[in-house]
Amino acid sequence: AQSVTQPDIHITVSEGASLELRCNYSYGATPYLFWYVQSPGQGLQLLLKYFSGDTLVQGIKGFEAEFKRSQSSFNLRKPSVHWSDAAEYFCAVVTGNQFYFGTGTSLTVIP
Amino acid sequence: GAGVSQSPRYKVAKRGQDVALRCDPISGHVSLFWYQQALGQGPEFLTYFQNEAQLDKSGLPSDRFFAERPEGSVSTLKIQRTQQEDSAVYLCASSENRGRDGYTFGSGTRLTVV
């Protein structure tokens, strides 16, 4: 069965510091992987996606993610966090018609 | 429209009441999905439409949940005889294809059953 694990429920970083949010997946074939961000009271916004090819993908708002097949991971990174990045982040894998989402990582940014 | 529109944004229902949640997808998007997001959880799949055809309803939690998309555009998720465990945010998403390029999500309807 497909599943996505986000081991960090909550992360706090200082503004300007670097960020890495972890995501591990369980899927038999080459996965289609996504990162979404959700601000309070809002829907989910697509940050970036990986289908194939270059394992380092660039997204919006300065985010990037690296697919590592050997580790079954797709971690999200940003070199310098801004206060506006505070939100909930969801990793997801798609198979067939469905997205399978992780339980999310809540990011707090302190001045 | 420019995005996926959901209404109402908030709904409070008394236990046992029927509710209807509306989703207006992006014009031309053939695929439409409903997700349920409980507090502190990631979204969970409910059902999927391609045009007017409901191709997958495996995620609907009970026969009290019913979704339709009669003309292949607007969709309605109906919950009959609401229970407290139905309290959640219901998200609608649409896609030009089968979703592998990523969905565009609406802002959701927050349902509270009291």
- Would an 8 Å CB–CB cutoff place A27 in contact with chain B? no
A90 in Cβ contact with A106 (< 8 Å): no
Query: What pLDDT score was predicted for residue B38?
Result: 93
Question: Which residues are within 8 A (CB) of B14 and not within 5 positions of it... i.e. 6 or more apart?
Answer: B82, B113, B114
Compute the nearest-CA separation of B42 from chain A (Å): 4
Distance in angstroms (rounded) separating the CA atoms of residues A66 and A48: 11
Q: What is the pLDDT of residue A98?
A: 76
Residue pLDDT, tens place only, B58-80? 999 999 999 999 999 999 999 99
Q: Would you write out chain A's pLDDT as a tens digit for each of its 111 residues?
A: 668 999 999 999 999 999 999 999 987 677 889 999 999 878 889 999 998 888 999 999 999 999 999 999 999 999 999 999 999 999 998 877 778 899 999 999 999
Size of interface A-B (CB pairs under 8 A): 59
Classify residue B62 as exposed, middle or buried by CB count within 10 Å of its CB (0-12, 13-18, 19+): exposed
Instruction: Looking at the complex, report in whole angstroms how far the Cα of residue B82 sits from the nearest Cα belonging to chain A.
Output: 22
A104 contacts B42? CB cut-off 8 A: yes
User: What residues are paired with B56 via a beta bridge?
Assistant: B48
**Which of B37, B39, B109 to mutate to test binding with chain A, by most A CBs within 10 Å of its CB?**
B37
Tell me: pLDDT of B2 over 80.
no
Check pLDDT > 60 for residue B113: yes
Q: How far apart are CA A54 and CA A63, in angstroms?
A: 15
pLDDT of B18 > 60? The answer is yes
Cα-flanking dihedrals φ and ψ of residue A69, to 5°? -60, -40
Q: Are residues B105 and A101, on separate chains, in Cβ contact within 8 Å?
A: no
